[in-house]
Amino acid sequence: MFLWGYKKMMFCPKCGSLLMPKKEGNKTIVECKCGYKSNDKIQTTFKEEVKKKETIKGVADGDMETLPITDADCPKCNHKKAYFWEVQTRAADEPPTKFLKCEKCKHLWRDYL
């Protein structure tokens, strides 16, 4: 994601929209979606912001004793019992994701509610 910085915000004199920088040759100009272009010299600064992906952490084997157990078929070993917990991995208006970990082989999988 790139963020543009200006000494002051520049708005289109025709329609009032925010003017956006654009490279033309070796010059940087500002233009509007309505077609207005300004050839005034502008100073811009560029800042790149890198957002890290969120990773979902599992539960350590030592913490398994405190989790509830449910009836679930393990896709790896077909054992019938698994530990489970829920995490809100999506938007607040979406249901939580249910994580299951096989009691026998420790295989981890998700169940989207």
Phi-psi region of 35 (alpha: psi -120 to 50; beta: other; left: phi over 0): left
100: nearest Cα among 76, 74, 79, 66? 74
24 classed as catalytic: no
86 classed as catalytic: no
**CB distance 67 to 81 below 8 Å:** no
Which is the catalytic residue, given 31, 94, 103, 111?
A: 94
71: nearest Cα among 95, 112, 100? 100
Which is the catalytic residue, given 49, 93, 103, 111?
A: 93
DSSP 8-state class, residue 66: G
Hey, which residues are catalytic here?
93-94
